Chain A
Amino acid sequence: MKNIVKIAIVLLMISGSVFGQKYITKNGKITFFSDAPSEKIEGHNNQVNTAMDISTGDFVFKVLMKSFEFENALMQEHFNENYVESDKFPNATFKGKVTNLTEINFTKNGKYKAMVEGDLTIHGVTKKVKQTGTFEIKDGKILTNAKFSIAIKDYNIKIPNTVLKNIAENVDITVNVSLDKLK
């Protein structure tokens, strides 16, 4: 009988450590910045769904391309219609894992280097990516920050010759996400 109680306690402890390990936000921020010789273009998206399971390291981003906002309406139109073709490819996703999970103490406030790798899908093209970012653990929240660059030709995004000088070959992506524990 004692053994059954012990097993039950151990099982409860295991389930307790597995459940409630998910952190999410639906208002993550992604900024896209193209620094070309004749024009600087910046787009913001504040509606990025992000989830991370700190027990497995699973990390997911879900982005709607039409949620990117640009200062200039014409830029926004070109971005959607000519480049990312958001009618045909409305979603961008990242599905991957934090690979150095053991180096991050999610229960202790502080800044940690995080290595993330996985599949990034933009414009219907999926590529393996490996990035380094920062996780700041602050009073039960996880603030993630990463900056990386992607080559737009890798994602089959074609830039017409006439505007070649206006769009950079590599665009900078900045990710700022504050994750809360899923209740």
Chain B
Amino acid sequence: MNKWLKIVLILAAVGIVAAILVYKFYINKPHKDIENAKADFKLKAEVLYNEYVTDKATADLKYNGKIIELSGNLSETEIADTLVVATFVYKQGDFGDEGIRCTMLPKFNEETKKIASGTEIKIKGFCAGFNDIDVILEKASLVKD
């Protein structure tokens, strides 16, 4: 085979592999697997809420966008359309119950609905921040020891 043709074919093959890798691992990379990711912080739900209420700016920098494992007594579980939200309530304010709201990953919906109010649970999720009323945890999962 012509030497130049060989080089061109090799370069083309390398180019195609590179393009596939860039597409798979960069452009079309999957969302972070929050359920199986290691928690950046493990703390009591009430402690997290109090940190946000006392000093939002500091807590925003510390916790927003991080994976957090909370422990505490479940206040109640709310169902909003297809979402199941586990709540820890610490205050009554303009928006009624205020505290921490954890939107469950769909695979934990049924299990979460069965947990009685007051039960001590561990829950892990992505912290979206504090909207001046509640701390929001997204893609939450129940953690078993």
Contact = CB atoms under 8 A, between A and B. Distances in A.
Contacts of B60: 90
B31 A47 contact: no
Contacts, number: 78
A81 to B, nearest CB: 10
Given A46-B83, A74-B26, A91-B132, A51 B64 contact: no
Contact of B131 (A25, A63, A69): A63
B27 A74 contact: yes
A114 B127 CA distance: 34
B45 interface: no
B65 A62 contact: no
B140 to A, nearest CB: 12
B103 A87 contact: no
A46 B83 CA distance: 9
A67 B95 contact: no
B114 interface: no
Contact of A66 (B27, B65, B103, B132): B65
How big is the B interface, by class? 20 to 34
Contacts of A90: 60, 64, 129-130
A74 B132 CA distance: 28
A15 interface: no
Contacts of A51: 94-95
A66 B134 contact: no
Interface in B74-100: 80-81, 83, 85, 94-96
A182 B96 contact: yes
A157 B4 CA distance: 49
A72 interface: yes
A6 interface: no
B144 interface: no
A49 B95 contact: yes
A63 B134 CA distance: 11
Interface string A78-103: 00100000110011000000000000
B53 interface: no
Given A73-B29, A80-B65, 11 more contacts: A26-B95, A47-B136, A49-B95, A49-B133, A51-B95, A66-B65, A87-B61, A87-B65, A90-B60, A90-B64, A182-B96
Interface of B: 26-32, 60-61, 64-65, 80-81, 83, 85, 94-96, 101, 103, 126-134, 136, 138
